[in-house]
Amino acid sequence: MFKGAIVAIVTPFKNGKIDEESLRELIEFQIVNGTDGIVPCGTTGESATLSHEEHDRVIEITISAVKKRVPVIAGTGSNSTTEALRLTQHAYSAGADGALIVCPYYNRPTQEGLYQHFKVIAEKVPIPIIPYNIPSRTGVNLMPEMVAKLSKIKNIVGIKEASGSIKQMSDIIGLCSEDFAVLSGDDIFTLPLLAIGGAGIISVVSNIVPADMAALVDAFVAGEIARAKTFHHKMGALMEALFIEVNPIPVKAALALMGKIKYEYRLPLCKMAEANFEKLKKVMVNYALI
């Protein structure tokens, strides 16, 4: 259902508020450059510092701007099942094509708690759901056996896997049916994951080079492995630079350098350290982005 090069899009701010015009322009930039889907209000979209009203608005803007040209997979996760349910119900009502729901963070539920969390939401909201496993942020790892159990629920259709383990990705693919979409949460794993049967990537680097990430995935699907490898290696230094500080600090700095958004964050995120900013700028110059 969901596959290819999907962008985890940033939320641009202007004078402390959502910059709706820039968000619409970023979405258009993505679509004309071949992106296969848009994820608003994910980690990269600074969802943790959006109010509920802002969160709802970003999803509504995205759906409006996309105009059904590609799927919109709305980020609707929370460490509270009740809150995640409300956000997911709104996304469904607004017309999103799917929901990306991060594992509950901070409270560190058991595997059974994780199962019950996703099961409750899936049973109450008839929208395709993708759990998002990112232990480095949540403090809990959704294990392959539990992913397989969740995959039996009709509208849980895939997973965004960001454990950093290609073995864990491989185990999930082996345990689940072929139509269960395993999507990488790390840009660098895109090609390796595709090679073992994954469906694609929910990408950070696509924010700034959407055509190249789309080309990597398209080349692999077409059997042009050498061409896919070329894009993988081309983007390597850029992928690394975008995580020189915590995401989405570098990617928003990069978009600001490209003139696409204001160089603005929500605290506690802040502008890059000057030395890191210069390193990022050098990589972008070498890539001919600025």
Residue 131 tokens, joined: 């759990």
Tell me the per-residue pLDDT of 45-68, one tens digit each, with 9 for 90 and over.
999 999 999 999 999 999 999 999
160 is catalytic: yes
Residues of the chain with pLDDT > 70, as a percent, come to: 100
Q: How confident is the model at residue 42 (pLDDT cuts 50, 70, 90)?
A: very high
| 287 three-state secondary structure | coil
**What is the reported pLDDT for 49?**
96
Tell me the per-residue pLDDT of 80-91, one tens digit each, with 9 for 90 and over.
999 999 999 999
**What is the reported pLDDT for 116?**
98
Tell me the per-residue pLDDT of 233-251, one tens digit each, with 9 for 90 and over.
999 999 999 999 999 999 9
Tell me the per-residue pLDDT of 167-187, one tens digit each, with 9 for 90 and over.
999 999 999 999 999 999 999
Tokens 């605290």 belong to which residue?
267
> In sequence order, what E strands does the chain have?
4-8, 13-14, 17-18, 37-39, 73-75, 98-102, 129-133, 158-161, 181-184, 200-203
Statement: residue 23 has pLDDT above 90: yes
Catalytic residue among 3, 92, 149, 160: 160
Catalytic residue among 132, 149, 252, 265: 132
Domain ranges across the chain: 4-223
Which residue(s) pair with 101 in the sheet? 131
pTM: 0.96
Statement: residue 200 has pLDDT above 90: yes
Average pLDDT value for the chain? 97
Return all residues near 180 (Cβ < 8 A) that are at least 6 apart. Answer: 151, 157, 158, 159
**167 vs 141: CA distance, rounded Å:** 14
What CATH architecture does domain 4-223 belong to?
Alpha-Beta Barrel (3.20)
Residue 272 tokens, joined: 């890059």
Return all residues near 34 (Cβ < 8 A) that are at least 6 apart. Answer: 5, 210, 211, 214, 215, 218
Statement: residue 1 has pLDDT above 90: no
